[in-house]
Amino acid sequence: MATLEEFQAECRSELQALRDGDGIFKQVNNERLPISDDDFEQMIVDCANGKFDQQENGYKKARLAEYPSYGEQLDYIYHNGLEAWKTDIIQPIKEAHPKPESP
Amino acid sequence: MAGSLIKITSASTTSNVSTIDIGGANWDSSYDVYMVKLYNLEQSGTTDVRLKARILKSDNSADSTANYDYAYKGLRTGAGFDNLADTNQTEFTNLTYLFRGSTSYGANAIFYLFNFNNASEYNFITVEGNGYGYDGSELMGAMGGGVHTVAQVGKGLQFSLTTDSISNAYIDLYGLKK
C-alpha cells in the first residue's frame, strides 16, 4: 500500500517525463496553450489523489459496477436461495476485487 | 421560443489536452442561466474514465478547493441504477458515469449553470450525460446535479478526465435569453 506522498512522487515523475517529451497542453476556449507550472502542480495533486482513491476505494467501485441488477439478484434468490446467491453471485465479485489490506 | 439560446463561446480540440476551459475570459455575465453542450468527447487512453469539472473563478482559474457536492443517478444498460453521490470533493466527477472513448464511441453531455454571476450564492449545475463505458460495450449515463458550496462568482467550467488526456471534444457555451 503506497502513501499519498509516494503517489505524488510517482505522478511527478510520470508527468515530468510527459512534459519533457511531447509536452502537456490545455485548451482555453479555442486557444491551445502549454500548461503553466501551477497547472502542472495541480495535475500532480489530482493524479496522486486519483491513484490513492483507486487504491483505497477502487474495489468498491469495481464491485458496484459488476453486481447484477436488484431484479436479477432477487430472481436468483427466489430460484436458488440465499446461500447460492452468496456463493454464485456475490462472492466471485468480492474475490475478483478484494478489499486492500491495511498496512 | 426561437432564438432563446445565445451562443457565447466555443472550445474544441482534436489533439491531446489535459484540461479544457469553457468561459473564463470569454464569459458573458449578462445571463441568469447558461447551458454547456459537450459532444464527441474522447480520451487518449483505452481504459474507462470519468469526466470531471471544476468551476472557473473570477480570475479565470479553476477552483480546486474541496467544496464540490454532487448527487446523480447512474444509468446503465447492463445493470441496475447506481447512486453516485459525494460531498466536499475537489471537483465534480462522474459527469457521464464511466466511458471509454475511442473514435467509435465516447461521451456527450448537457449542463445547465445557475447562480454563476451572483457572488452571494452557491454555484449550481444540472447534469445529463452518457457515454459508452465500463467494458466498452455498455451505455452508461448520469443524471442529477451538483453544487459548489462557495458564495462566489463563477465564469464557466474546466473539464478533465480522471486519467488520460482529452483527445477530442467539442464544447459550446450558451446563455439563456431572458
pTM listed for this prediction: 0.90
For A:54-73, CB contacts with B below 8 A are: 64-71
In angstroms, the CA B144 to CA B111 distance is 10
Instruction: Kindly list the residues from chain B whose CB atom is less than 8 angstroms away from the CB atom of residue A71.
Output: 80
Which residue, chain included where needed, has cell 476556449?
A29
8 Å CB contact of B20 and A27? yes
Among candidates A26, A45, A69 on the partner chain, residue whose Cβ is nearest the Cβ of B18: A26
pLDDT of residue A101: 79
Among candidates B12, B19, B134 on the partner chain, residue whose Cβ is nearest the Cβ of A30: B12
The string of pLDDT tens digits covering residues A74-100 is 999 999 999 999 999 999 999 999 998
Is B133:B48 a contact under the CB 8 Å cutoff?
yes
Q: What percent of chain A has pLDDT over 70?
A: 98
Q: Which residue, B150, B19, B89, is CA-closest to A35? A: B19
Is B84:B71 a contact under the CB 8 Å cutoff?
yes
Which residue, chain included where needed, has cell 478484494?
A98
Q: Which residue, B164, B161, B169, is CA-closest to B45? A: B164
Instruction: Kindly list the residues from chain B whose CB atom is less than 8 angstroms away from the CB atom of residue A30.
Output: 9-12
The string of pLDDT tens digits covering residues B78-128 is 877 888 999 999 999 999 998 887 666 789 999 999 999 999 999 999 999
> What is the interface size between A and B, counted as CB pairs within 8 Å?
70
Its ipTM equals 0.90
The distance of Cα B34 from the centroid of its chain, to the nearest Å, equals 12
Instruction: Kindly list the residues from chain B whose CB atom is less than 8 angstroms away from the CB atom of residue A38.
Output: 61
Is A68:A93 a contact under the CB 8 Å cutoff?
no
Element (H, E) at B98: strand B98-99
Q: Is the dihedral of CA B25, B28, B34, B40 positive or negative?
A: negative
Give the minimum alpha-carbon distance from A41 to chain B in angstroms, rounded to a whole number. 12
Q: Is A18 on the interface with B (CB under 8 A)?
A: no
Instruction: State the pLDDT confidence band at B167, using cuts at 50, 70 and 90.
Output: very high
8 Å CB contact of A28 and B24? yes
Is B76:B139 a contact under the CB 8 Å cutoff?
yes
